[in-house]
Chains A and B, each alone.
Chain A
């Protein structure tokens, strides 16, 4: 009986594995035509992405005449920009907040803050998007975008408040709580003898936290950053609501206006264009985007695992 149960459970687990592998392979296969028809220029810049998507959508019904031309540079740039900035800012913010919660917070504040942080980590992204689009975006439009600013870029893009500034800001608020929760757990699990030893040597509280506990918690920080960046990479709904729905590549040479220009990362592009999936070349282009997202998040997991392994040589056991 035991052997039968083992076989059954093993078969179930293998089926799940096959399903997951099938998902990855299918998405890659479905998106392949878009890559093969464009070659390396798929990743480059050139022309208006929205216009190219529209042309793909309108391509004639004859399979030989499908239009595939796409230079997805602006979308990749927007994704990298928004995700990268959010991760860097959030990691710094989360580490400092975690240190505050573990070491310096008054007892009453700590008792309230911890469940609140856990709650914030569970809030759905639509709610963040709603607050963003109804509160933050109008504020930015009224206070940060003057007429002159609008004039200066009017020949390229309209500024209406939806911008990468709001996108990065709300994305930071969205991914920080989960990072804070993980880092707080890691800081707490540092053996108390280590911190007591530091105190016995006369090290002050900040320094012992920085040089002892934080170093010990480095694998957890990497794990938290990887988790948060996977979430940031795939965030479609909130960014589609607040970062603008235009496939535009913000220009850093515009100075401060750079932050006020809209952009649209890959995931939001898929959500915004979901109705057109039935048109074959359009659908294949969308699957190509999904393939990029899938490969990036797989790379992230692998990179995080590799980084954690190399760090855990110096710290507490396996994590």
Chain B
């Protein structure tokens, strides 16, 4: 039987003009993203490898008019390390405690909500505002023991402890967020099982919940470390502008002293700061980038490793 004669139907493509434009834009955005990312990494690698050397990493910076004698950046590296340690040592216990209180207790609920908003405000505050606030606190006379006090009573207000304390505020929201997430993924029946065995809430937290949340806490701490290492504004304002680490005499030593970190070293050696040694800046920036890459990879690894199974 012959099929009925029909006019041939023109099949329209399902992609209209606007859709094609959208597709083109998406590809353009994606390719330019690849280009920008690739060129940043390639350029930093190229310049960094060109200028960095083992003796740069291990020699201390020195003030000198002759560029070739200004030494390396050992002190800034130590400075970054000290700041990170101080920041994390303060942020992790406090952050875990606050996160535990928010998820496990959290009464009265108005207070819990206020604390949550407060943490969010801190998370969104620019670090320059935190730096100025730090200066405000640490320049009060009763804070004199945290930094150097000149004759005449003016408290300098700038020291490793001052910068470290502000850095811990910067890292706090990250630790709190990661810990809360980790604790919230622990299913309810684990807690109920612990209560059924006669344990009270505090013991449950200490013995059951916190050990399971270890990887979340570690993730939060590593994220905080990454943020601390990369922060420049707080360092520029609160660490004093000495190139080398100058500890104070007497109690506290290095903590009350001033110094520099990798970030402030890069800033000072770029055309924006006083130096004008782009090679040193590139080398230090390269080392900084390697540290950040390493911390990033560590976050990924920690997240993947200790995934506790609940069933």
Interface residues in chain A, defined as those with a beta carbon under 8 Å from any beta carbon in chain B:
1-2, 5-6, 9-10, 12-14, 16-17, 20-21, 23-24, 26-27, 30, 93, 96-97, 99-101, 103-105, 109, 113, 115-120, 122-127, 129-131, 133-135, 173, 176, 180, 202-204, 206-207, 210, 227, 230, 233-237, 240-241, 245, 267, 270-271, 274, 277-278, 286-287, 290, 293-294, 297-298, 300-301
**B248 shortest CB reach to chain A, Å:** 20
Q: State which of B26, B200, B232 has its C-beta within 8 Å of the C-beta of A206.
A: B26
**A135 shortest CB reach to chain B, Å:** 7
Type the 1/0 row for B215-246, where 1 means its CB is closer than 8 Å to any CB of A: 00000000000100111110011000000000
B111 touching A122, Cβ below 8 Å:
no
A236 touching B233, Cβ below 8 Å:
yes
Knowing A130-B285, A234-B128, the reply to whether A13 touches B111 (Cβ < 8 A) is yes
For residue A100, which residues in chain B have a CB less than 8 angstroms away from its CB? 26-27, 29-30, 33
Within 8 A of A (CB), among B107-161: 107, 111-112, 114-115, 118-122, 124-130, 132-133, 135-136, 154
Q: Could you list some 23 contacts between A and B, CB below 8 A?
A: A9-B97, A9-B98, A12-B98, A16-B94, A20-B122, A23-B133, A26-B136, A100-B26, A123-B292, A131-B43, A133-B270, A134-B270, A134-B281, A204-B14, A236-B128, A241-B267, A267-B233, A270-B128, A274-B237, A286-B132, A293-B126, A294-B125, A301-B120
A287 touching B98, Cβ below 8 Å:
no
A124 touching B115, Cβ below 8 Å:
no
Q: Is B293 an interface residue (CB 8 A)?
A: yes
Q: Is B45 an interface residue (CB 8 A)?
A: no
A122 touching B282, Cβ below 8 Å:
no
Q: State which of A122, A206, A236, A278 has its C-beta within 8 Å of the C-beta of B295.
A: A122
Q: Which residue of B lies closest to A304 (CB)?
A: B124
Knowing A26-B136, A127-B285, A271-B237, the reply to whether A236 touches B126 (Cβ < 8 A) is yes
Q: State which of A12, A127, A129, A301 has its C-beta within 8 Å of the C-beta of B124.
A: A301
Q: Which residue of B lies closest to A173 (CB)?
A: B36
B37 touching A117, Cβ below 8 Å:
yes
CA distance A103 to B100 in the complex (A): 39
Q: Among the listed stretches B2-10, B17-25, B54-62, B63-71, which one makes contact with chain A, having 4 or more residues with CB under 8 Å of it?
A: B17-25
For residue B100, which residues in chain A have a CB less than 8 angstroms away from its CB? 9
**B192 shortest CB reach to chain A, Å:** 16
For residue A97, which residues in chain B have a CB less than 8 angstroms away from its CB? 26, 29-30, 33
Knowing A9-B97, A129-B272, the reply to whether A271 touches B26 (Cβ < 8 A) is no
For residue A99, which residues in chain B have a CB less than 8 angstroms away from its CB? 26, 29
Q: How many residues of B contact A (CB 8 A)?
A: 80
Knowing A9-B105, A301-B121, the reply to whether A127 touches B272 (Cβ < 8 A) is no
CA distance A12 to B90 in the complex (A): 13
**B277 shortest CB reach to chain A, Å:** 11
For residue A104, which residues in chain B have a CB less than 8 angstroms away from its CB? 23, 26-27, 30
B126 touching A120, Cβ below 8 Å:
no
A298 touching B124, Cβ below 8 Å:
yes
CA distance A103 to B19 in the complex (A): 14
B233 touching A237, Cβ below 8 Å:
yes
**A247 shortest CB reach to chain B, Å:** 16
A12 touching B101, Cβ below 8 Å:
yes
For residue A113, which residues in chain B have a CB less than 8 angstroms away from its CB? 30, 33-34, 37
A2 touching B200, Cβ below 8 Å:
yes
A10 touching B267, Cβ below 8 Å:
no
For residue B132, which residues in chain A have a CB less than 8 angstroms away from its CB? 27, 270, 277, 286-287, 290
Q: Is B193 an interface residue (CB 8 A)?
A: no
Q: Is B263 an interface residue (CB 8 A)?
A: yes
CA distance A130 to B282 in the complex (A): 8
For residue B229, which residues in chain A have a CB less than 8 angstroms away from its CB? 124
Q: Is B82 an interface residue (CB 8 A)?
A: no
CA distance A16 to B34 in the complex (A): 42
For residue A1, which residues in chain B have a CB less than 8 angstroms away from its CB? 200, 202-203
Q: Which residue of B lies closest to A7 (CB)?
A: B105
CA distance A123 to B36 in the complex (A): 14
For residue B236, which residues in chain A have a CB less than 8 angstroms away from its CB? 237, 271, 274
CA distance A293 to B131 in the complex (A): 13
B136 touching A27, Cβ below 8 Å:
yes
CA distance A126 to B271 in the complex (A): 12
Between A21, A100, A227, A301, the greatest number of chain B beta carbons within 10 A of the residue's beta carbon is seen for A100
Q: Which residue of B lies closest to A233 (CB)?
A: B126
For residue B28, which residues in chain A have a CB less than 8 angstroms away from its CB? 96
**A187 shortest CB reach to chain B, Å:** 12
Known: A124-B230, A300-B124; 6 extra A-B contacts, CB below 8 A, are A1-B202, A13-B111, A97-B26, A120-B37, A135-B43, A207-B19
For residue A10, which residues in chain B have a CB less than 8 angstroms away from its CB? 101, 105, 107, 111
Q: Is B194 an interface residue (CB 8 A)?
A: no
